[in-house]
Chains A and B, each alone.
Chain A
């Protein structure tokens, strides 16, 4: 599928090129694929959160109707383990399962129902083991892994069992005394990405021992680099192609069915399609880390922060995924976008038998923003200062130094976003009586408004853009310029819904000064890696790569005439690791750049029934330069909804490590009735080191909105509300 683009250059409000096909069913998602003679794959998963596997008996399953293959770890021809950063996760369980839903065996059959029935006929003898489910006790329990997978990667050497990463950031004199001190303990539940399109894809054997995998993912090349060794194949014999992606939000950074479908396809020599249902999707990807955070903030009598001390405990679940980076991100942004001379931040992530956690929009910064902004409100209260004024007095600015020792040298308009968000007029109180739909409890008709109180909350958050701590982060683009002036662009940047396809085309049109540009299919087969559609980096990185390749193509044509075809790699500024003992940057910087957002929320709370209604949200966000303002607003509105979800309703619940609410009936995400209008102001303060001055925009709204929504609930109820999601019981005080 090639895409012809409508008019639109960098900075213009343009329609999505994939828009119309997505409205009429023509756009093919990874679950829509079909190949002649294809089989359906299915995964048998562990019903235990921790158990030893004594025996697996496949005999009955193998003779089940329609079955073509039943595979276990013995059928994995190459490496038995994989992982985004550390290969600690078995492709199929070896002798032990460590989380509920861990894959144990695979089946390929002619009909998906036949595959499911055959799975029921596999007999696995488990010996259940005591699950490790309390992260506070993880460091004294038997190690869940025989090897220390994350050891030896430049992190602090922590010999305690079950440590994924332990990081201490020590800056200035953390014992410095202030005129006032406030402290609190905060907690966040496990949030799910809940992308609407479940994990799915199609693996097609090429007849020569290699395989083509069509899948919804965030990073094609890193998938290939994990899949190929497990199949025992060189990377070029595994080609990964992007199929339509039904949302991602971090949940598609790790592999799901990629290796599994390829194993089945190579084994049966038939195309194999796998599609998770919603229940399986809840165990089929990593989640946002649940956290417990202990914080103490000290300030002088004028409200200037003197020191911040914070201890962060993240539950990483059974496998490492990207937990080491989440650990340091949580720590890096623990103090919020404020200048603090003295800080002691300790961030620890542990292994457990709870659901594995990894990347989700906001990546560690969501958790600490929730704690840190609650602390700022407490501080304002203790000092008798207006919360907005307190934040302005401490706002970080270019030239200031972060607790990691990094000086901010790019754009970071914290005071500006605070002022602009605070200046947005709050809607007037709607008179009573009103339609039930406009009251907390909504169509449930639970109140006429007697117990309803209104509250206004404010929060500020910030986060890094792109990969940090010395990671070699790059993006490739290839441009073919034909003699007739038309161009074809290749870039593997995953279109996950954020609109990077439009970004690529807008940049190419701008650079080549022609409308005649098409984007070739996203694949590992024709272009080098783009890096991940993660960390608010893809727009920046793809714009950089396409700009470089277009300019090189024009130069080349100038020199040679005729058709040219060039590929270029774009890298952002280099970053350095954090010192393993002090958490200080070992070079000029450990993060590339930052983006911030401020948000004001009006909520109504029925303090007798514990029900809430968010009435209005106003936000000002630092966006660098908007490539497509309509898409930027869409990111802000959508990102805000996910943060509101964590504040009010979203939590994966577990018992002994078993997920008890793996459905949209029991895991609630915001609906059209839950979302208020979101008024957004885009602050364009170009980032000097980025192409066109762009910044990533996807994460800041999610970072700040959980904190801002809960601040409004606190204002309405007068309660501390230290845990999200806030439950009706917490509001009523049960």
Chain B
């Protein structure tokens, strides 16, 4: 089936199979592999995107459900020449190791700071508890969020 959606401000079309997730469509049909697939079960947050401004796991949304909606992926937040402040903060704080969790965490952090510009320690932990990171032990990720909040 054909779907039409807005991705990172652009009108896009994709031909998808009914069973495909939004994550698969973004990664394999729309050329946007920034959202990662680490579990496909809503457990790791690597695939976090904003769907009509709400933080969701793209692996849990069917591509067909996104028909007619607005999606922002990590690619839509900033590019190498003009990184988003949250992206800069992650690098500055040393919050990136293998980086596989990073796109999801960047999207989740942008969402957190949009709702709570000066989050407390507990708020940060709770907001990011759906995003698994296996490399960093999270300490420098919390540093990055605090840095970005400044």
Q: Are the chains A and B members of one assembly?
A: yes
A573 at the interface (CB under 8 A from B): no
Q: Shortest beta-carbon distance, A591 to chain B, in Å? A: 27
Q: Are A26 and B38 in contact, with the CB atoms below 8 A?
A: no
How far apart are A497's CB and chain B's nearest CB, in angstroms?
A: 3
B29 smallest CB distance to A (angstroms)? 11
Say yes or no: A672-B103 contact (C-beta < 8 A), given A23-B83, A29-B36. no
Known A-B contacts A25-B75, A675-B137; the reply to A111 vs B38 at CB < 8 A is: no
Q: How far is the CA of A197 from the CA of B94 in the complex (A)?
A: 19
The B-contacting residues of A in range 635-676, CB under 8 angstroms, are 637-642, 663-665, 669-673, 675
CB-CB < 8 A to A435: which residues of B?
122
Are the CB atoms of B91 and A15 closer together than 8 Å? yes
CB-CB under 8 A for A113 and B129, given A16-B96, A19-B91, A496-B98: no
B73-102 near A? 1/0 per residue, CB < 8 Å: 111011110011011101110101111111
Question: Which label, helix, strand, loop or mixed, suits the secondary structure of the A interface?
Answer: loop
Given contacts A23-B83, A24-B83, A28-B33, contact A672 B138 (CB under 8 A): yes
Is B6 part of the binding interface, using a Cβ–Cβ cutoff of 8 Å? no
A25 to B137 Cα, complex, angstroms: 22
Report chain A residues within 8 Å CB of B33. 25, 28-29, 31-32
B106 near A246: Cβ-Cβ < 8 Å: no
Once the chains are docked, how many angstroms separate the CA of A677 from the CA of B143?
11
Stretch at the interface among A136-144, A314-322, A524-532, A626-634: A626-634
A349 within 8 A of B: no
Taken residue by residue from 36 to 66, chain B's Cβ proximity to chain A (1 for < 8 Å, 0 otherwise) reads as 1111110110100000000000000000000
Question: Quick one: which of A194, A249, A665, A678 contacts B137, CB cutoff 8 A?
Answer: A678
- With both beta carbons as reference points, the residue of chain B lying nearest to A15 in the complex is identified as B91
What A residues does B137 contact at CB under 8 A? Answer: 634, 637-641, 670, 675, 678
Q: For residue A28, which residues in chain B have a CB less than 8 angstroms away from its CB? A: 33
A284 close to chain B: CB less than 8 A:
no
B96 partner, pick from A19, A32, A637, A675, beta carbons under 8 A = A19
Cβ 8 A contact of B134, one of A15, A21, A111, A249 = A249
Known: A437-B126, A496-B98, A665-B41. A634 touches B75 (CB 8 A): no
Cβ proximity bits A432-450 to B, threshold 8 Å, 1 near / 0 not: 0001011000010000000
Look across to chain B and name the residue whose beta carbon is closest to the beta carbon of A673: B129
Q: Which residues of A contact B96 (CB under 8 A)?
A: 16, 18-19, 22-23
CB distance from B148 to the nearest CB of A (A): 11
- Contact at B92–A672, with CB atoms within 8 Å? no
Q: Name the A residues within 8 Å of B102 (CB-CB).
A: 22-23
Central interface residue in B27, B33, B74, B141, by most chain A CB within 10 Å: B33
On whether the beta carbons of B125 and A23 are closer than 8 Å, the reply is no
Q: How many residues of B contact A (CB 8 A)?
A: 60
Let me know if B98 and A277 touch, CB within 8 A: no
* Cα–Cα, bound, A193→B100 (Å): 14
Task: Using CB atoms, name the residue of chain B closest to A635.
Answer: B97
Whether the Cβ atoms of B139 and A678 lie closer than 8 Å is yes
- Specify which chain B residues have a CB less than 8 angstroms from the CB of A194 in the assembled complex: 134
CB-based nearest A residue for B92:
A15
CB <8 Å contact, B139 and A637:
yes
Chain A residues numbered 470-514 whose CB sits less than 8 Å from any CB in chain B: 496-499
Docked Cα-Cα span, A275 to B36, in Å, equals 12
Q: Which residues of chain B are within 8 angstroms of A673 by Cβ–Cβ distance? A: 125-126, 129
- Contact status A24-B43, CB under 8 Å: no
Please give the distance in Å from B1's CB to the nearest CB on chain A: 14
What's the Cα separation between A695 and B43 when bound, in Å? 36
Contact A25–B94 (Cβ < 8 Å):
no
Q: How far is the CB of A154 from chain B (nearest CB, A)?
A: 36
Cβ B83 vs Cβ A498 within 8 A: no
B28: nearest chain-A partner, CB-CB: A34
**CB-based contact A24/B140 at 8 Å:** no
Q: Out of A193, A631, A641, A672, which one reaches B129, CB within 8 Å?
A: A672
A196 at the binding interface (Cβ < 8 Å): yes
Cβ–Cβ contact B77 & A24, under 8 A: yes
Digitize A676-695: 1 where CB-to-B-CB distance is under 8 Å, 0 elsewhere: 01100000000000000000
Instruction: Compute how far the CA of A277 lies from the CA of B129 in the bound complex, rounded to whole angstroms.
Output: 22
Flag whether B9 is at the interface (Cβ < 8 A).
no
In the bound assembly, the distance between CA atoms of A34 and B106 in angstroms comes to 24
**A303 lies within 8 A of chain B by Cβ:** no
A195 at the binding interface (Cβ < 8 Å): yes
Cβ A24 vs Cβ B38 within 8 A: no
Nearest B residue to A26, CB-CB: B80
A23 contacts B99, C-beta separation under 8 Å: yes
User: How far apart sit A193 and B33, CA to CA, in the bound complex (Å)?
Assistant: 24
Report the Cα distance A13→B58, complex, angstroms. Answer: 36
Q: 14 additional contacts, CB 8 Å, given A196-B98, A638-B135? A: A18-B99, A19-B96, A20-B80, A24-B87, A32-B33, A111-B17, A196-B135, A246-B36, A247-B100, A437-B122, A671-B129, A671-B130, A672-B124, A672-B141
CB-based closest 4 A-B pairs? A25-B34, A497-B98, A22-B99, A246-B100
CB pairs A–B below 8 angstroms (26 shown): A15-B94, A18-B96, A19-B90, A20-B83, A20-B87, A20-B88, A24-B103, A25-B35, A25-B75, A25-B103, A28-B33, A32-B27, A113-B17, A193-B134, A196-B36, A196-B134, A630-B140, A638-B137, A641-B134, A664-B38, A664-B43, A664-B132, A671-B130, A672-B124, A672-B138, A673-B126
